[in-house]
Amino acid sequence: MAYTAAMLLLLASLTFAQDAPPLIDALPPPPPAPTCAPGQDPTGPWPTAIIDTVAAEALNAHLFPADIDWTTKERAGVRTDGAVVIHNGTVIYEAYGPGWDADKRHLTWSASKTVMAALTGVAVHQGALSVDDSICDHIAVTDDAACAITVQNLLEMSSGFDWRETYEGVSPTASSVLGMLYGEGQSDMAGFVTGHPLRAAPGTDWSYSSGDTNVLSAVVGSALAESNGEFYPWTALFDRLAMRPTWERDGSGTFVGSSYLWATPRDMGRFGTFLLHDGCWLGTEILPRDWVTSMSALNGVVTTAAADDDRAYGWQTWLNVPTPTATERRWPNAPSSAYAAMGHWGQSITVLPEHNMVIVRMADDRDHSYDHGTTLALAIALVEAP
Amino acid sequence: MNRTILTVMLTALLAGCGGNKDIRTYDNSLFQLASGFAAKEICSCVFVAERDEETCDEWTRVSPNVAGHHIDYNAKTVRSRSLGMGKTLARYVDAQTGCVIDRE
């Protein structure tokens, strides 16, 4: 009896569903997608209005401690080489350490990775690449097992390659990344990386890897070079942002997307502003809509895999959100919407969307005495102080 | 002299310290890695960042410091050797490409 009643109810609901207008018609139309606002980005020198307040003095004292001895071989303490804060498109703080100035390019180390993610977005926007593409759609590999790796796996640092990202303090000869940059891998870094066996299925295990980024660089290069020329990072991105960086290559000509972008702090500020504006520049959409949102959101592998406190990571970008197993945010004094390109020895390009602010710091930190969260709090205080 | 012997012994120890046999090692000696690092990064530091040699020497100093180098400002190259067992030449290309390694 109950079964018959249930069947009748199901039949009635199906009949109603067939007669009812499609549900989609009953919903309000989606809001129009945001468009690139024209004229919000600088093409020439940055508009500059340096803030000279107690708050600026506090930021300066934090970034350039008075007791730092720049001559010691130990290179101890907070050693800022250059810092720029951009608020509402205007440079409001800028300072340099001994020997550095606005025109000198500084090595960004792994902050290069975030630029590589943006360049990947350019390739997708141009229709030269899809995040679902297999790497084998674009580059040759020696082991077909690597063909299971997609562009998105690389963006998420989840290729699954058996890779060791170790630097100082661990046997150098066992370091995959040192072997890639300075040893047998430097002649063809993507080939070196894809020659490693898989230790996990692609897309199942997050493991920070400069190797993944350099495979991504080779894939993006294959996709963009034909239509944008050999110097595609400039023609497709840097020239449009009026940036003048150096990006060094491996022995095969692939840009070392993991580590070797050199740029002035102001140029890094341009890149941060480009991200802040969701991939728009001078009213032109350069990245796919939502690309920056994807770069700055906790990636799917981190969300689903067992996570620790160092995995607040998007697409080649560090985040300030809790992970499933770590409730403490990376920079508790900054909004959870903050995200950053970060590199060895203290490099960072931090974007604070809620404050319409970009904070660039180039440095030579050799110990752990620098606190980036304090920098962010002091930078925010520049515009919030009475 | 004693310092040199100590450096060689320490370096040889580090070069061979894969330790755990489960950990893969690469076809690099510590000397190759050290000369590769010194040549490439000093080249970039001098010709890309336009810093002076003394500063770049300090910036690339690692412990143990086994790599010496020579800068050719006319050819825009840096040649590095690690105790005679690892040799690397890095050359500056241009403002966009920076320095690349030419293994010797």
CA A7 centroid distance within chain: 54
Q: Is residue A48 part of a domain?
A: no
Sign of CA dihedral A67, A72, A74, A80: positive
For A60, the domain range is 54-384
Cβ pair B98:A247 closer than 8 A? yes
- For testing contact with chain A, the best of B47, B100, B103 (most A CBs within 10 A): B100
Amino acid, res. A273 = T
pLDDT digits (tens, 9 = 90+) for A163-189: 999 887 778 888 999 999 999 999 999
Q: Is residue A286 part of a domain?
A: yes
Q: Which helix (H) or strand (E) holds B72?
A: strand B67-72
Distance CA A337, CA A343 (A): 20
Position A286 confidence tier, pLDDT thresholds 50, 70, 90: very high
Whether the per-residue pLDDT at A90 is higher than 80: the answer is yes
| Mean predicted confidence (pLDDT) in A243-247 | 97
Token pair for A226: 């034909």
Position A318 confidence tier, pLDDT thresholds 50, 70, 90: very high
Return the axis-axis angle of helices A112-125 and A265-276, rounded to nearest 10°: 50
List B101's β-bridge partners, or say none.
B90
Q: Is residue A73 part of a domain?
A: yes
| Mean predicted confidence (pLDDT) in B59-76 | 87
The strand pair at B77-82 and B86-94 is best described as antiparallel
Distance from CA of A170 to the nearest CA of B (A): 9
Does residue A48 contact residue A85 with C-beta atoms inside 8 Å?
no
Whether the per-residue pLDDT at A54 is higher than 90: the answer is yes
Does residue A187 contact residue B32 with C-beta atoms inside 8 Å?
no
Average pLDDT, chain A: 88
Distance CA B33, CA A172 (A): 8
Q: Which residues of A touch B34 (CB under 8 A)?
A: 172
Distance CA A214, CA A186 (A): 11
Eight-class DSSP state of A68 = -
3-state SS, residue A212: helix
Q: Which CATH number characterizes residue A204's domain?
A: 3.40.710.10
Distance CA B5, CA A357 (A): 54
pLDDT for position A11: 35
Q: Is residue A169 part of a domain?
A: yes
| Mean predicted confidence (pLDDT) in A68-95 | 92
pLDDT for position B86: 82
pLDDT for position A353: 96
Distance CA A204, CA A201 (A): 6
- Residues above pLDDT 90, as percent of chain A: 76
Q: What is the dihedral of CA A19, A24, A27, A32, to 10 degrees?
A: -160
B93 or B64: whose pLDDT is higher? B93
Supply the pTM of this predicted model.
0.88
Q: Which residues of B touch A75 (CB under 8 A)?
A: 58
Distance CA A199, CA A161 (A): 6
pLDDT for position B73: 98
Token pair for A74: 């130990």
Does residue A343 contact residue A109 with C-beta atoms inside 8 Å?
yes
Q: Which residues of B touch A234 (CB under 8 A)?
A: 96
List A359's β-bridge partners, or say none.
A85, A350
Q: How far is CA B86 from CA A76, A119, B63, B79, in A?
A: 30, 35, 16, 11
B82 or A144: whose pLDDT is higher? A144
Q: Is residue A163 part of a domain?
A: yes
Eight-class DSSP state of A239 = G
Lowest mean pLDDT: which of A8-17, A298-307, A323-332, B7-16? A8-17
The answer for A 185-224 residues in CB contact with B (under 8 A) is 185-187
Q: Any chain B CB within 8 A of the CB of A366?
A: no
Distance from CA of A71 to the nearest CA of B (A): 10
Identity of the residue in A174, A246, A250 whose CB atom sits nearest the CB atom of B96: A246
List A343's β-bridge partners, or say none.
A347
Looking at the structure of chain A, the number of domains it has is 1
Distance CA A297, CA A286 (A): 19
pLDDT for position B84: 76
pLDDT for position A285: 94
CA A123 centroid distance within chain: 16
Q: Is residue A126 part of a domain?
A: yes
Interface predicted TM-score (ipTM) of this complex, two decimals: 0.86
Q: Is residue A36 part of a domain?
A: no
Find the residue in A nearest to B23 (Cα): A174
Find the residue in B nearest to A174 (Cα): B25
Q: Any chain B CB within 8 A of the CB of A344?
A: no
| Mean predicted confidence (pLDDT) in A364-372 | 94
A90 or A14: whose pLDDT is higher? A90
Does residue A136 contact residue A145 with C-beta atoms inside 8 Å?
no
Position A16 confidence tier, pLDDT thresholds 50, 70, 90: very low
Distance CA A102, CA A93 (A): 12
| Mean predicted confidence (pLDDT) in A99-127 | 97
Q: Which residues of A touch B42 (CB under 8 A)?
A: none
Q: Is residue A183 part of a domain?
A: yes
- Residues above pLDDT 70, as percent of chain A: 87
pLDDT for position B22: 52
pLDDT for position B19: 41
Whether the per-residue pLDDT at B90 is higher than 90: the answer is yes
pLDDT for position B17: 42
Distance CA A315, CA A178 (A): 23
Token pair for A45: 């020198």
| Mean predicted confidence (pLDDT) in B57-78 | 88
Q: Any chain B CB within 8 A of the CB of A71?
A: no
Whether the per-residue pLDDT at A234 is higher than 50: the answer is yes
CA nearest neighbour of A159 among A299, A259, A308, A292: A299
pLDDT for position B18: 40
Side-chain half-sphere CA neighbours of A26 within 13 A: 4
3-state SS, residue B11: helix
Q: Which residues of B touch A251 (CB under 8 A)?
A: 100-101, 103
Position A17 confidence tier, pLDDT thresholds 50, 70, 90: very low
Identity of the residue in A106, A107, A173 whose CB atom sits nearest the CB atom of B29: A173
Eight-class DSSP state of A157 = T
pLDDT for position B30: 86
pLDDT for position A169: 72
Q: Which residues of A touch B51 (CB under 8 A)?
A: 99, 104
CA nearest neighbour of A208 among A337, A344, A326: A344
pLDDT for position A28: 52
Cβ pair A182:B40 closer than 8 A? yes
Q: Any chain B CB within 8 A of the CB of A184?
A: yes
Distance CA B29, CA A172 (A): 9
